[in-house]
Chain A
Amino acid sequence: MASAAQSRIKSISYAKYGYMFIAPFFLVYCFFQIWPLIYTFILSFKGNQANYTQFVGLDNYSQILFGTGSSVGAAGVHEEFARALGNTFVLWFGNFIPQILLSLLLAVWFTDAKVKLPGKGFFKIVMYMPNIITAASVAALYVNLFGDSKYYFVNATLMKLGMISDPVQFVAGPTASKIMVMFIQTWLWFGNTMIMLMSGIMGISPSLFEAADIDGANSTQQFFKITLPLLQPIMVYTLVTSMIGGLQMFDLPYLYHNGANFSKQLETVAVYIYYNFNKGTVEQANYGYAGAASIIIFAITAVLGSITFYMNRDKDAIAKKKQRKKAEKQMKAKMKQGGLSI
C-alpha cells in the first residue's frame, strides 16, 4: 500500500543533482573560456597601441586581409599576416604529409598478421617517445645539435667529413629552418598518429582480410580495397585534429631560433598573434591585430573542418536515405491518388 507521500510525489527527478555536479565545471568554463572567446571578438574591433579602447569596426580586418585601412603601415600588416599564413600552411603540409605516410606504413606493418615483426612493443614505445618530450626541450636539443656555426655538432661533423665547406644555416636559414621544423614536427607526431591508425586497423574485422586472402588478393589490393576504405573514419579524425593543430602551430616555430627574438621566417599565425599581443605595455601591444588574426584563423579552421567532413561523409548512407525518401514520396503520391494505381 502506497503511503500518502508516495502517492503525492509521482516521480522524483534526480536531474538537479546532476546539474549541481556539473555546475562547477561550467562556471569555471564560462569565466575562463567563454568570456575570453567573446572578448577576443570584441578586441578585434578595437584599435591598436594607444588607441586600444577605441572602436574601429572592421579596420583591423581590412588591414590584415587587404592591406587597406587607417594605418600607414597597413600594407606591411597585410604582408606580415600573409607571410605568417603562408608559413602556417607550408609547415603544416610539410609535416602532415610525410607524417601520415610514415605512420600509415608503420601501422600496416605492425598490424599485419603475416609480418612477424619481433620487438613490436619496443618499437611502438620508441616511436611514441618523442611525443612525450616538451617542445621546449626538443627545440633546445635541435638548436644545439644543428646550430648555425661550426661549433655545433652537425655542422662540425659535416665539415670534418668534408661534405660542406661552410656551415649550413639550419636555424637562421629561411629554407633550411622550415625543413628542420617540418622534420621535427614529423618526428614528434608520427608515433602518435601511428598508434591512432593502428587502433583503426585493428578495429577492422580480421575475417575480411582472411576472405581477401582466400580470394587471392595480394597485400597491395588488400590495403587499397579493404584497409584504406574502412580506415576512413580514423583518417578523418586524424586529418581534422592535425589540421587544427597545424593551423595553431606555435611552440616549435616560436622556440626554434638563435638569440633573443623568434625567427621571422618561421612566423606562423599563432606566433603572429602572440607577438602582437605581447609586445610590451598595453600601449605598445597590438590587441586589435591579434584579435582579428585569431578570428580569421578560427574562421579558416571552421571552413576547412566543414569541407573535410563534407568530403568524407558516408556517401552510401546518404544515397540510401535519399532512396528511402523518394520511396516515401512515391507512397504518399500513390495514397493521394486514392489507391487507383494501375
Chain B
Amino acid sequence: MSKLTRTLALLASIAVVSTAFAACGQKTESTPTPATNNTSSQAAPEEGGNEEGGNEEGGNEESGNEEGGNEESGNEEGGEGGSTTLEAGAVNLPDTDDTLTVVCWTDADLQNMFDVYKDYSSANVVYQNCGDNGSAASTQYATYLNSGDDVDLFVAEAGWILNYINDDSMSAPLSDLGITADDYKDAYQYTVEIGTDNNGVLKAASWQAAAGGYAYNTTLAEQYLGVTSADDMQAKIADWDKFAATAEELKTASDGAVTMTATIGGLWQAFSTAKNAAWVKDGAIQTDVAKEFTDMVKGYVDNGYVNPNVEQWTTDWTNVGLQGETLGYFYSTWCLGEGAQLEQNGGTDGNWNIVIGPQEFFWGGSWLCVSPNCNTASEASKFVKAFTTDASIMEAYALYSGDFTNNKVAMDKIVADGSNSNPLLGGQDQFAVLSDVAAGIKMSDSITKYDQGLKDTFLDTLKKNISSDTDTIISTFTTQALADNPDLTA
C-alpha cells in the first residue's frame, strides 16, 4: 500500500514538474515560429527539405498546395520567368540547409519580394515575423538571433541598425556571402555607408532608398489656392518661407478649415533629415536643429498652419486627410504603394499629387543583414544580390510594390520608360519626382543608435509644451533625454 502511495506521489510530482518546465520550453520554441507567420515563396524542392522538423512542415505543405506540381525543383539556378540568372558569390558560411529564412517585421515588403522572386528562383524562401513593428523588432531580435532557431538573413531599420551591425555576434560581413562594396556601384551611396560598420566592414545592404515628398490633395489645392499642376504647387512651396506663405494663403482662403500639413511629426521629418545633423556628437546631445525647428513650428501652430494635437500614424492623422481638413502629408516612398498610408488617408480617388516640397528629405529605410548562423549561404547570397544589386529584378520589384529601389540603373530606366503610373496619384510617376531626392540623401554622418528615442522624446516634449518659449522646450527636452540616456552629456 505504502509503496503504491509512494509511487503515485513520485509520478504526480514528476508530472507536475515536467508540465511546468515543458510549458516554459514550448514557449521559447513556439514564440518565434508561429505557423501563421510562416510563409514560403516556393515549394520545397525535395523531400529532404523537411529535415528541420515540424516547424517548417506547415509552410511547405501550404506552398505545395499553392504551387501544385513543381517541375523545376532540381533546377535551382534556372529562373524561367526572368531574363537574369542568379549566381551565388564565393560563400564563406555553411550551406547545409535548403530553406532560406529571413527574419523581419515587414512581412508585407517581404511578401512582395517573394512574389517577384518566384519568377527568378525556385529556392525555398520563408520569412519569420519577430515583433510587429520596427521598435519591437529592435528589442526582440537580440533574443531571436541567439535562440538557435533558423535564421539566415534579417531585416534592420535605419533607427537602430547600428546596434546590430556593430556586434559581430549578431551579424556577419556580406563578404561571407561573396558580396563586396564593388557590387554597389549603382546603389545610392548612403545605403552602403550605413551598411558599413565601425571597422569599415560591409555588413548590410538595402533594397530601398526611402526618398520622401509632399503629397497634397489636388481638389483642395485648386479650390483654395488655384493651383492646377504639380509644378505650380512645387513653385509655391519651394522653400520654408514660401511654404509658410502658402499656408497663410490657404488659411485665409479656407477660413482656417484646412491646415497646411497634418502633423508636426511629418514636418520634423522633412525639416530635420535634410540638415544631415546627428542627434548625438561625441556623446553630447545636439539641439541646434531642434531649436531651429521649434522656432519655426511654434509660429506654425500659433498661425494654425498645423494642428499640434494630431499625432503621426493615428486615426486623427488618417481622419484629417479623409475629411479634407489638411492639404497634404509628408510621405516616404513606402507610403505610396497600394494599401499603404496614402490610400488609407484618402488617396483612393486619385486626386493626390506628390511634389518634392520645401526640402528634399527621406524617411526610414530597411537593410538586409546576414546572421553569423546563416546555413543557407548560396541561397542567401542569391537573394541579397537579387534585391540589392540586380537591376532587372529591382525594376520588377519597384513596379510590383511601388517601393523606390536602391538601384539607380533600375530607377532611371523606369523613369525613362515611363513604365510606372500610380493610380492613387492620378497616374503620376512618383519615381520621377523622387529620383533626384534619392540621389541627394545623406544619412551616414547623422544616424546614431539614440535616434529613435531622442526623436520621440523631442516631439512629445514639443507638443506638450508648445505654448512655452523655445528655450524652455529645449531645456525640458534635454533634461528628459539625459534622464533616459545616462550615457550622454548635454
Binding site for B on A (CB under 8 A): 12, 17, 20-21, 23-25, 27-28, 47-51, 71-73, 75-77, 79-80, 147-149, 151, 167, 169, 172, 174, 258-261, 264-265, 276, 278-284, 286, 289
B9 interfacial contact with A, CB 8 Å: yes
B274 interfacial contact with A, CB 8 Å: no
CB pair B309 A172 closer than 8 Å: yes
CA distance in complex: A6, B295 (Å): 94
Question: B139 to chain A: which residues have CB within 8 Å?
Answer: 278, 280-281
B226 interfacial contact with A, CB 8 Å: no
CB pair B314 A284 closer than 8 Å: no
Question: A265 to chain B: which residues have CB within 8 Å?
Answer: 464
CA distance in complex: A47, B485 (Å): 12
Given A73-B479, A283-B163, decide whether A49 and B460 contact each other with a Cβ distance below 8 A.
Answer: no
CB pair B13 A20 closer than 8 Å: yes
Query: Can you spell out 13 A-B residue pairs with CB atoms less than 8 angstroms apart?
Result: A21-B13, A28-B17, A71-B482, A76-B479, A148-B316, A149-B319, A151-B315, A151-B316, A280-B135, A280-B452, A281-B163, A284-B163, A286-B484
- Binary interface encoding of chain B residues 9-42 relative to chain A, with 1 for a CB under 8 A from any of its CBs, else 0: 1101100110010000000000000000000000
Question: B309 to chain A: which residues have CB within 8 Å?
Answer: 148-149, 167, 169, 172
B490 interfacial contact with A, CB 8 Å: yes
Closest to B10 in A: A20
Given A147-B315, A259-B314, decide whether A80 and B13 contact each other with a Cβ distance below 8 A.
Answer: no
Question: A73 to chain B: which residues have CB within 8 Å?
Answer: 479, 481-486, 488
Q: Looking at B12, B138, B311, which has the most chain A CB atoms within 10 Å of its CB?
A: B311
Question: B12 to chain A: which residues have CB within 8 Å?
Answer: 21
Question: A278 to chain B: which residues have CB within 8 Å?
Answer: 139
Given A264-B460, A283-B163, decide whether A77 and B17 contact each other with a Cβ distance below 8 A.
Answer: no
CB pair B313 A286 closer than 8 Å: no
CB pair B314 A71 closer than 8 Å: no
Question: A80 to chain B: which residues have CB within 8 Å?
Answer: 480, 483
CB pair A49 B485 closer than 8 Å: yes
CB pair A281 B142 closer than 8 Å: yes
CB pair A23 B13 closer than 8 Å: yes
Closest to A72 in B: B489
| Shortest Cβ gap from A64 to chain B (Å) | 10
User: Which of chain B's residues 415-469 have a Cβ closer than 8 Å to chain A?
Assistant: 449-450, 452-453, 456, 460, 463-464
CB pair B20 A28 closer than 8 Å: yes
CA distance in complex: A77, B16 (Å): 45
B96 interfacial contact with A, CB 8 Å: no
Given A73-B485, A260-B135, A260-B313: 13 more A-B contacts, CB < 8 Å: A48-B486, A73-B488, A76-B478, A77-B486, A147-B315, A151-B323, A258-B311, A258-B314, A276-B484, A279-B484, A280-B160, A283-B163, A284-B485
Classify the secondary structure of B's interface with A. Answer: helix
Closest to A64 in B: B483
CB pair A77 B483 closer than 8 Å: yes
| Shortest Cβ gap from B320 to chain A (Å) | 8
CB pair B163 A71 closer than 8 Å: no
CB pair B316 A258 closer than 8 Å: yes
Question: B463 to chain A: which residues have CB within 8 Å?
Answer: 172
Please tell me the number of chain B residues within 8 Å of chain A, measured between CB atoms. 47
B147 interfacial contact with A, CB 8 Å: no
Closest to B24 in A: A32
Question: B2 to chain A: which residues have CB within 8 Å?
Answer: 12
CA distance in complex: A169, B460 (Å): 15
Given A258-B314, A260-B313, decide whether A79 and B483 contact each other with a Cβ distance below 8 A.
Answer: yes
Binding site for A on B (CB under 8 A): 2, 5-6, 9-10, 12-13, 16-17, 20, 135, 138-139, 142, 160, 163, 309-316, 319, 323, 449-450, 452-453, 456, 460, 463-464, 478-490
CB pair A24 B16 closer than 8 Å: yes
Closest to B463 in A: A172
CB pair A280 B486 closer than 8 Å: no
CA distance in complex: A21, B319 (Å): 59
Question: B460 to chain A: which residues have CB within 8 Å?
Answer: 261, 264
CA distance in complex: A259, B490 (Å): 28
CB pair A259 B16 closer than 8 Å: no
CA distance in complex: A147, B314 (Å): 11
CA distance in complex: A169, B310 (Å): 11
CA distance in complex: A149, B325 (Å): 12
CA distance in complex: A47, B163 (Å): 19
CA distance in complex: A25, B12 (Å): 12
CB pair A264 B142 closer than 8 Å: no
CB pair B319 A151 closer than 8 Å: yes
* Closest A-B pairs by Cβ, 8 of them: A73-B482, A76-B483, A259-B311, A76-B479, A24-B16, A71-B486, A77-B483, A49-B487
Question: B323 to chain A: which residues have CB within 8 Å?
Answer: 151
CB pair A17 B316 closer than 8 Å: no
Closest to B307 in A: A149
| Shortest Cβ gap from A20 to chain B (Å) | 5
Question: B310 to chain A: which residues have CB within 8 Å?
Answer: 149
Question: B319 to chain A: which residues have CB within 8 Å?
Answer: 149, 151
CA distance in complex: A149, B315 (Å): 10
CA distance in complex: A196, B188 (Å): 67
CB pair A17 B138 closer than 8 Å: no
Question: B481 to chain A: which residues have CB within 8 Å?
Answer: 73, 76
CA distance in complex: A172, B314 (Å): 13
| Shortest Cβ gap from A74 to chain B (Å) | 8
CB pair A264 B13 closer than 8 Å: no
CB pair B485 A21 closer than 8 Å: no
Q: Which of A51, A75, A259, A281 contacts B313 (CB 8 A)?
A: A259
Given A21-B12, A280-B453, decide whether A76 and B163 contact each other with a Cβ distance below 8 A.
Answer: no
Question: B20 to chain A: which residues have CB within 8 Å?
Answer: 24, 27-28
CB pair B142 A282 closer than 8 Å: yes
Q: Looking at B160, B323, B456, B479, which has the most chain A CB atoms within 10 Å of its CB?
A: B479
CA distance in complex: A76, B312 (Å): 27
CB pair B486 A149 closer than 8 Å: no
Given A17-B5, A76-B479, A284-B449, decide whether A50 and B487 contact each other with a Cβ distance below 8 A.
Answer: yes
Closest to A14 in B: B5
Closest to B310 in A: A149
Question: B142 to chain A: which residues have CB within 8 Å?
Answer: 281-282
Question: A282 to chain B: which residues have CB within 8 Å?
Answer: 142
CA distance in complex: A265, B478 (Å): 17
Q: Which of B5, B10, B316, B479 contacts A75 (CB 8 A)?
A: B479
CB pair A284 B482 closer than 8 Å: no
CA distance in complex: A24, B15 (Å): 9
CA distance in complex: A73, B490 (Å): 8
CA distance in complex: A76, B489 (Å): 12
| Shortest Cβ gap from B348 to chain A (Å) | 19
Question: B315 to chain A: which residues have CB within 8 Å?
Answer: 147, 151
